[in-house]
Amino acid sequence: MSIRHSLLALLQDQPRYGYQLRVEFEDRTGSTWPLNIGQVYTTLDRLERDGLVSNDGGDGEGHVVYSITDAGRAEVQGWFATPVERSNPPRNELAIKLALAVTLPGVDVAAIIQAQRAASMRALQDYTKSRRDTAANQRAADTAWLLVLDSLIFQTEAEIRWLDLCEARMVQLAQASGTRSQARKPSNGVTAEEAAPRTAENRR
Amino acid sequence: MSVQGPQQVLELAKVSRTFGQGATAVAALRDVDLTINAGEFVAVMGPSGSGKSSLLALAGGLDRPTSGGVFVESTPLAGLGLNALARLRRRAVGYVFQDFNLVPTLSAVENVALPLELDGVPARKAHRQALDALRQVGIPGLADRFMDEMSGGQQQRVAIARAIVGSRRLILADEPTGALDSTTGHGVMEVLRSRADDGAAVMLVTHEARHAAWADRVVFIRDGRIVDEATAMHDPAVLLAPAG
Ligand SMILES: Nc1ncnc2c1ncn2[C@@H]1O[C@H](COP(=O)(O)OP(=O)(O)O)[C@@H](O)[C@H]1O
Ligand SMILES: [Mg+2]
* pLDDT tens, residue by residue, A27-85: 888 777 888 999 999 999 999 999 999 998 888 888 999 999 999 999 999 999 888 87
Instruction: Please tell me if residue A71 touches chain B, with a CB cutoff of 8 Å.
Output: no
Exposure of A78 in the CB half-sphere (CA atoms within 13 A): 10
Mean pLDDT over residues B150-161, rounded? 92
Mean pLDDT over residues B101-124, rounded? 94
Instruction: Please tell me if residue A135 touches chain B, with a CB cutoff of 8 Å.
Output: no
Instruction: Round to whole Å and give the CA distance between B35 and B73.
Output: 11
Closest-CA residue, ligand 1 atom 2, reads B19
Give B235's contacts in chain A (Cβ within 8 Å).
126
Report residues of chain A scoring pLDDT below 50.
183-204
* Residue A161, amino acid: R
Backbone angles phi, psi at B174, to 5 degrees: -100, 105
State the nearest Cα–Cα gap between B193 and chain A, in angstroms. Answer: 10
User: What is the CB neighbour count within 10 angstroms for residue A160?
Assistant: 22
- Answer yes or no: do B223 and A187 touch at CB < 8 A: yes
Instruction: Round to whole Å and give the CA distance between A153 and A130.
Output: 11
**Domain ranges across chain A:** 3-81, 93-195
Q: How far is the CA of B221 from the centre of ligand 1 (A)?
A: 13
Amino acid A195: pLDDT: 41
**Domain ranges across chain B:** 8-230
Mean pLDDT over residues B125-141, rounded? 95
CATH number 3.40.50.300 given to B8-230: yes
Instruction: Round to whole Å and give the CA distance between A57 and A54.
Output: 9
* B51 touches ligand 1 (CB under 6 Å): yes
DSSP H helices, chain B, are 52-59, 82-92, 108-118, 123-136, 152-164, 182-197, 209-212
pLDDT in tens, B179-206: 788 888 888 899 999 999 999 999 999 9
> Which ligand 1 atom lies nearest to the CA of residue B54?
17
* Residue B193, amino acid: R
DSSP H helices, A36-141, are 37-49, 70-81, 93-103, 109-136
Judged against a pLDDT cut of 80, whether residue B57 lies above it is answered with: yes
Distances (CA, A) of B212 to A57, A114, A202: 53, 16, 32
Amino acid A201: pLDDT: 39
State the nearest Cα–Cα gap between A118 and chain B, in angstroms. Answer: 5
Amino acid A194: pLDDT: 41
* B168 touches ligand 1 (CB under 6 Å): no
Q: How far is the CA of B51 from the centre of ligand 1 (A)?
A: 6
Mean pLDDT of chain B: 91
State the nearest Cα–Cα gap between B220 and chain A, in angstroms. Answer: 8
Judged against a pLDDT cut of 90, whether residue B100 lies above it is answered with: no
Instruction: Round to whole Å and give the CA distance between B85 and A187.
Output: 33
Which residues does residue B227 pair with via DSSP β-bridges, in sequence order? none
Amino acid A179: pLDDT: 66
* Residue A116, amino acid: Q
Amino acid B81: pLDDT: 93
Instruction: Round to whole Å and give the CA distance between B226 and B217.
Output: 13
Judged against a pLDDT cut of 90, whether residue B60 lies above it is answered with: yes
Closest CA to B217 of B44, B6, B97, B78: B44
When the candidates are 1.10.10.10, 2.60.40.420, 1.20.140.10, 3.30.70.2860, the CATH number that belongs to A3-81 is: 1.10.10.10
Q: Is the peptide bond before B242 cis (omega within 30 degrees of 0)?
A: no
Read off the pLDDT band of B243 (50, 70, 90): very low
- Answer yes or no: do B228 and A30 touch at CB < 8 A: no
ipTM of the shown complex: 0.84
Of B27, B234, B244, the CB nearest to A129: B234
Amino acid A187: pLDDT: 45
Residues 6+ apart with CB under 8 A from B136: B161, B164, B191
Mean pLDDT over residues B122-147, rounded? 95
Which residues does residue B35 pair with via DSSP β-bridges, in sequence order? B11
